[in-house]
Amino acid sequence: MKALQKIKSPIEQELIDFEPYFKKSLQSDIPLLATILNYLYRTKGKQLRPMFVFLSAKLHGGTNESSKLAACSVELLHTATLVHDDVVDESYERRGMFSVKALWKNKLAVLVGDYILAKGLLLQLENKKYNFLHLISRAVQDMSEGEILQMKKSRKLDIDDDTYFEIIRKKTASLIATSMAIGAASATEDEEIVERMYRIGQDAGIAFQIKDDIFDYQSKGIIGKPIGNDIKEKKITLPLLHILNNSDNSERKRILRMVKRRNKNTQAVKELIQLVIDRGGLEYAELRMLEFKDKAVAGLMEFPESDARESLIELMEYITTRKK
């Protein structure tokens, strides 16, 4: 948490002002919906994406009211996708707490996710921020495509490196990329800078997702995400993919058969986790993660030195060294 406090220092006031603004956006006159929205607000995460927005804005001219709107739009989209993800993944936990799906079932979870997404889109339209709307809509499209592609590949288990990176680029990295781009767009009309920040955010987002994939094979795992969860959901991520790529045909078939058993065989899940650890799958994933992080940092170094640039670089370090 000390690392995050240091990172936040150039945008400390912006984050303070953001809280009531975001809370107000998660409100409804319908009592049941208001209860669910309040629960989501109380169980929110670190809000890394608003940090990316504000720091990117500060890097390119300074934050303003549009930056706050941009941060809220991104965080609303992120919140909506988490609610929907728990339905898709049949997950009963989120950040160590019950998910909306667990407490209020699938139908309400889908509708609440839709409501939050609509709130964000309306926020942009009401403020005539059509460039924000374009960026957010592109993110929604990419995230949906990434999720569908992952579901397809989970059924056939025919994933390769290119497909894996396409999935995480769309499913996870697109939102961090959008956070960086929309932050820049709130402070400058230079479309080249907005696109450069999008590419930097994309590299950072890929590194972020690889870190999550590594957590799934470590003893403590991520809060709210049990160890081996990806294997149980038949998701072949980079650590396991590395092992598959370096196995002969017969062993590859044996590993894929074990993955197909999903959570029906907990011993098989444990065996696969140990295989990935023993064969260097985590070390390989770590190296690839650092490649993308270093690429993002190199992109940031092309901009003039400032407190915002330094905090963004430290934020890149944080997302690849975090413990949860």
Task: Name the burial class of residue 186, with classes exposed (0-12), middle (13-18) and buried (19+) by CB atoms within 10 angstroms of its CB.
Answer: buried
d(CA 292, CA 316): 10
d(CA 42, CA 308): 28
> pTM (2 decimals)?
0.93
Domain residue extents for the chain: 2-321
DSSP letters spanning 126-153: HTT-HHHHHHHHHHHHHHHHHHHHHHHH
Residues 6+ apart with CB under 8 A from 269: 228, 231, 232, 263
Alpha-carbon 67 to chain mean position: 20
List per-residue pLDDT tens for the chain, 324 residues long. 678 889 999 999 999 999 999 999 999 999 999 999 999 999 888 899 999 999 999 999 999 999 999 999 999 999 999 999 899 888 888 877 899 999 999 999 999 999 999 999 999 999 999 999 999 999 999 999 999 999 898 888 888 999 999 999 999 999 999 999 999 999 999 999 999 999 999 999 999 999 999 998 886 544 445 577 888 888 899 999 999 999 999 999 989 888 887 556 678 888 889 999 999 999 999 999 999 999 999 999 999 999 999 999 999 999 999 987
User: What local confidence, expressed as pLDDT, does residue 148 receive?
Assistant: 93
Pick the CATH number of 2-321 from 3.40.50.850, 3.40.50.2300, 1.10.600.10, 3.40.50.11540: 1.10.600.10
φ, ψ dihedrals at 199, nearest 5°: -65, -40
